[in-house]
């Protein structure tokens, strides 16, 4: 049996970064990935990178087939680079196959023709998440129904795209395919669109989508899905809808089902997420879990920060933990993108904070005029007493870059006046933060 100081299951952001770090300090490392199409992890192969490449090309109104080819080229380049970043290290073994625990020190790898067993002093689980499929008749057997991975592998653009689920993934794909020229319909089971956002922000997003021709159906009860004359038929109480392709965008769950975690004494919650302490250690002392598999925020940058915590635990002072994370921002790469950090107005009111809310229409920003995209709004919530920024929502071009400036100011505990009086380049979207925070009285 091959012996390792570290076995890492999954080639995601935390796993691959930890593998390289440990190897460069002299550890003997094995990293297991069940598919050679997933070297580099979800983000590079089926998540952030391919979708944002497609979003970019859709904004430029590139041909769909050409955009798909460029996406494939970008993914292939990064996948190969990520593979060689580890495989070319002398003391790293990259092993392809499906991992399952025999005990808390032994992992069996199921390969195409046989199985091998590895022994590890320490084991790190970084298996990510997988799509959740609602219990709808015909959903898993009907041709033309895809998860996000399948939709990204189409060679021909669907004229009519249905999206089952109106969350952030659904919104990104709706905006992208509408930009490519598809007629898009979102079927959302909830009575409210994007319930995690303030109503004015959610309404602004809905209006932008509707202006692209996207139809949003709330309280949508899809009872069954079937195939009819090459179309996908959605049966609903009020009648049938037909589309050329249906995207299931109803969320993702931790990918733990086949790991045989019970053999290693690793506990999971009722959603299948691995239970960890603030240092990301599981119920088995020598096993850690990182990234989406822990059931937390499903962002690549959280997985990267998980790596930092584990690195400090193994090689540093052991002080870093998940409680250190402040003001985690996120972006939804629709066109224009939505980015947010901190509290919404609704959350701030519920907290009882004395506060001021200010908004700035994007149409008032010179750079937005230059870029010919004046859609959206900037919104900030400020504590009236402490002058601290409680939260910001940005629905505008380049918001995914601007939000990081705001996070840095919030993390540093600086008052809103820092951004009100900061010197920014002109014309730029970031200088609009001068104007937004000048509205605070």
Q: In Å, what is the CA distance from 184 to each residue of 38, 163, 169, 264?
A: 29, 7, 14, 46
The residue behind tokens 């050329």 is 244
Cα(129)–Cα(136) distance, integer angstroms: 21
Instruction: Check residue 180 and report its DSSP letter.
Output: H
Could you confirm whether 426 is annotated as catalytic? yes
| Rounded-to-integer distance, Cα 148 and Cα 143, Å | 15
Torsion sign across C-alpha atoms 358, 363, 369, 373: positive
Q: Which of 56, 62, 400, 426 is catalytic?
A: 426
Token pair 């965008």 is at which residue? Answer: 249
Is 162 within 8 Å of 170 (Cβ atoms)? no
Measured distance CA(307)–CA(21) in Å, rounded? 10
Residue-level length of the chain: 441
Tell me the C-alpha distance between 101 and 257, whole Å: 12
Structure tokens at 6: 């570290």
DSSP state of 122: E
The answer to whether 109 touches 118, Cβ cutoff 8 Å, is yes
d(CA 261, CA 104): 9
Q: Where are the beta strands (DSSP E) in 355-435?
A: 355-361, 377-383, 389-395
Could you give the CA distance from residue 44 to residue 82 in angstroms, rounded to a whole number? 9
Cα–Cα nearest to 149, from 252, 27, 29: 252
404-437: string of b/e by CB count within 10 Å (b at 16+)? ebbbebbeeeebbebbbeeeeeeebbbbbbeebb
Q: What is the secondary structure of 21-82 as a DSSP string?
A: HHHHTT--EEEEES-TT-TT-HHHHTSHHHHHHHHHHHHTT--HHHHHHHHHHHHHHHHHHH
**What amino acid positions are annotated as catalytic residues?**
426
């Amino acid at each position: 049996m091959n012996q390792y100081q570290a076995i890492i299951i999954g080639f995601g952001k935390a796993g691959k970064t930890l593998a390289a770090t440990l190897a460069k300090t002299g550890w003997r490392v094995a990293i297991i990935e069940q598919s050679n199409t997933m070297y580099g992890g979800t983000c590079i192969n089926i998540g952030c990178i391919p979708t944002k490449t497609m979003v970019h090309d859709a904004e430029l109104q590139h041909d769909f087939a050409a955009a798909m080819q460029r996406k494939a080229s970008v993914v292939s380049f990064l996948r190969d680079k990520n593979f060689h970043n580890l495989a070319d290290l002398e003391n790293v073994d990259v092993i392809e196959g499906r991992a399952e625990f025999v005990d808390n020190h032994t992992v069996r790898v199921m390969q195409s023709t046989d199985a091998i067993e590895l022994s590890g002093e320490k084991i790190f689980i970084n298996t990510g998440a997988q799509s959740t499929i609602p219990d709808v008749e015909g959903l898993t057997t009907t041709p033309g129904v895809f998860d996000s991975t399948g939709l990204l592998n189409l060679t021909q653009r669907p004229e009519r795209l249905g999206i089952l689920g109106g969350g952030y993934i659904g919104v990104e794909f709706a905006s992208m395919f509408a930009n490519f020229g598809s007629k898009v319909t979102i079927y959302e089971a909830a009575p409210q669109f994007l319930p995690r956002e303030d109503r004015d922000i959610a309404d602004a997003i809905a209006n932008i989508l509707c202006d692209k021709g996207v139809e949003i159906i709330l309280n949508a009860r899809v009872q069954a899905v079937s195939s009819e004359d090459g179309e996908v038929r959605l049966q609903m109480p009020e009648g049938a809808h037909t589309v050329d392709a249906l995207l299931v965008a109803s969320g993702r769950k931790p990918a733990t089902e086949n790991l045989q975690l019970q053999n290693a004494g690793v506990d999971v919650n009722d959603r299948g997420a691995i239970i960890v302490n603030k240092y990301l250690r599981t119920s088995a002392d020598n096993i850690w879990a990182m990234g989406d598999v822990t059931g937390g925020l499903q962002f690549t940058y959280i997985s990267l920060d998980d790596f930092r915590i584990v690195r400090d635990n193994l090689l540093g002072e052991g002080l870093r933990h998940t409680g250190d994370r402040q003001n985690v921002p996120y972006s939804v790469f629709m066109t224009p993108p939505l980015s947010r950090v901190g509290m919404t107005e609704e959350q701030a009111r519920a907290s009882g904070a004395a506060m001021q809310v200010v908004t700035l229409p994007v149409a008032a920003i010179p750079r937005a005029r230059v870029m010919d995209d004046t859609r959206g709004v900037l919104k900030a919530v400020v504590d009236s007493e402490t002058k601290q920024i409680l939260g910001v929502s940005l629905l505008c071009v380049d918001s995914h870059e601007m939000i990081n400036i705001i996070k840095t100011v919030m993390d540093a505990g600086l008052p809103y006046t820092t951004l009100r009086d900061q010197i920014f380049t002109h014309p730029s979207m970031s200088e609009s933060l001068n104007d937004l925070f000048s509205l605070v009285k």
